[in-house]
Amino acid sequence: MKKTIVAVAFLFTAVTLTAQTEEELKSTLGAKKDSIAAIQGRADAIQAQIDALPGWKKGAFGTIGGSLSNFNNWYSQGTPNNSAGNIGITINAFANLTEDKFFWRNALTTNLNWVKLDDQDDPTDSDKFRQATDVFNISSLYGQKLSEKFAISGLGEYRTTILSNFNDPGYLDLGVGGTWTPITNLVVVIHPLNYNFVFSNEDTIFNSSLGAKILADYTRQIGAVAFKTNLSLFQSYESGDLSNWTWTNSFSYTLWKMIGVGFDFGLRNNKQEALNYSNNVLGNTDTFDTVDNDLQSYWTLGLSYKF
Tens digit of pLDDT per residue, the chain (307 long)? 555 555 545 554 554 545 557 677 667 777 766 666 667 666 666 766 666 667 898 888 887 877 778 888 787 777 888 888 888 888 889 999 999 999 999 999 998 888 888 888 888 888 888 888 888 999 999 999 999 999 999 999 999 988 888 888 899 999 999 999 998 889 999 999 999 999 988 778 899 999 999 999 998 888 888 889 999 999 999 999 999 999 999 888 888 877 888 888 899 999 999 999 999 889 999 999 999 999 999 888 887 766 6
Cα–Cα distance measured from residue 86 to residue 130, given in angstroms and rounded to the nearest whole number: 9
Hey, what amino acid is at 276?
N
CA angle 211, 213, 217 (to 5 degrees): 170
Which DSSP string corresponds to 68-124? Answer: EEEESS-TTSS-SSEEEEEEEEEEEEEEEEE-SSEEEEEEEEEEEEEEEEEETT-TT
pTM of the model: 0.76
Cα–Cα distance measured from residue 47 to residue 224, given in angstroms and rounded to the nearest whole number: 13
